[in-house]
Amino acid sequence: MDKIVVITDGNTQIGLGHVYRCLTLARELRKRNCHVSFFTKSQEAISKIENENFSLTRIENIWDSEHIINAIRNKLIDLIIIDSYIVSFEYLQDIKNHTKKIMYIDDLVKFRYPVDIIVNGSALGDYADYYKYDTQQLVLSGVKYNLLREEFRDLPIRNINNQVRRLLLTNGGADPNFITKKFLEFICNEKRLMELVICVVVGNAFMRKEEIYDFAKKNGNIEVIDAPKRMSELMLKSDIAISAGGTTLYELCATGTPTIAYLTSETQRAIVDKMKETNCLECIGMYSQVDEHILNNSILKLSKGYEQREKLSKAGQSLVDGRGAIRVVNEILYTLNKD
DSSP H/E element including 81: strand 79-83
Angle formed at CA 224 by CA 233 and CA 287, multiple of 5 degrees: 95
Whether residues 16 and 131 fall in one domain? yes
Decide if 257 contacts 263 (C-beta within 8 A): no
Decide if 38 contacts 55 (C-beta within 8 A): yes
Decide if 309 contacts 258 (C-beta within 8 A): yes
Domain residues for the domain of 167 are 155-319
Task: Please tell me the distance from the alpha carbon of residue 253 to that of residue 244, in angstroms, as a whole number.
Answer: 13
Whether residues 191 and 213 fall in one domain? yes
Please say if the pLDDT value at position 320 is more than 90.
Answer: yes
Please say if the pLDDT value at position 139 is more than 80.
Answer: yes
Task: Please tell me the distance from the alpha carbon of residue 112 to that of residue 133, in angstroms, as a whole number.
Answer: 6
Long-range pairs, 81-86, Cβ under 8 A, ≥24: 81/4, 81/5, 81/6, 81/7, 81/22, 81/25, 81/105, 82/6, 82/7, 82/8, 82/115, 83/6, 83/7, 83/8, 83/18, 83/21, 83/22, 84/7, 84/8, 84/9, 84/18, 85/110, 85/267
Question: What pLDDT sits at residue 204?
Answer: 75
CATH code: domain of residue 287: 3.40.50.2000
Please state the rounded mean pLDDT for residues 111-122: 96
Whether residues 185 and 125 fall in one domain? no
CATH code: domain of residue 69: 3.40.50.11190
Residue 150 confidence class, pLDDT cut points 50, 70, 90:
very high
Rounded to whole angstroms, what are the CA distances from 60 to 7, 43, 178, 212, 325? Answer: 12, 11, 27, 32, 29
14 vs 336, residue with greater confidence: 336
Please say if the pLDDT value at position 338 is more than 90.
Answer: no
Whether residues 196 and 271 fall in one domain? yes
Cβ atoms within 10 Å, residue 319:
18
Question: What pLDDT sits at residue 294?
Answer: 98
Decide if 128 contacts 120 (C-beta within 8 A): yes
Whether residues 43 and 95 fall in one domain? yes
Q: Which DSSP string do the residues of 190-231 spell out, in sequence order?
A: -GGGTTSEEEEEE-TT-S-HHHHHHHHHT-TTEEEEES-S-H
Residue 118 confidence class, pLDDT cut points 50, 70, 90:
very high
Whether residues 210 and 117 fall in one domain? no
Please say if the pLDDT value at position 74 is more than 90.
Answer: no
Task: Please tell me the distance from the alpha carbon of residue 52 to that of residue 38, in angstroms, as a whole number.
Answer: 11
Question: What pLDDT sits at residue 207?
Answer: 86
Task: Please tell me the distance from the alpha carbon of residue 204 to that of residue 231, in angstroms, as a whole number.
Answer: 13
The SS3 call for residue 73 is coil
Residue 16 confidence class, pLDDT cut points 50, 70, 90:
confident
Please say if the pLDDT value at position 95 is more than 90.
Answer: yes
Whether residues 132 and 242 fall in one domain? no
Please state the rounded mean pLDDT for residues 10-20: 86
Whether residues 145 and 180 fall in one domain? no
- Hey, CA dihedral for 63, 65, 66, 69, is it positive or negative? positive
188, amino acid identity: C
Task: Please tell me the distance from the alpha carbon of residue 247 to that of residue 21, in angstroms, as a whole number.
Answer: 8
pTM: predicted TM-score of the whole model, two decimal places: 0.92
Please state the rounded mean pLDDT for residues 242-263: 96
Into how many domains does the chain fold? 2
For the segment 300-310, what is each residue's pLDDT rounded down to a tens digit? 999 999 999 99
For the segment 170-207, what is each residue's pLDDT rounded down to a tens digit? 998 889 899 999 999 999 999 999 999 999 999 877 88
Decide if 18 contacts 10 (C-beta within 8 A): yes
State percent of the chain over pLDDT 90: 87
Rounded to 5 degrees, φ, ψ at 134 are: -150, 170
Whether residues 140 and 160 fall in one domain? no
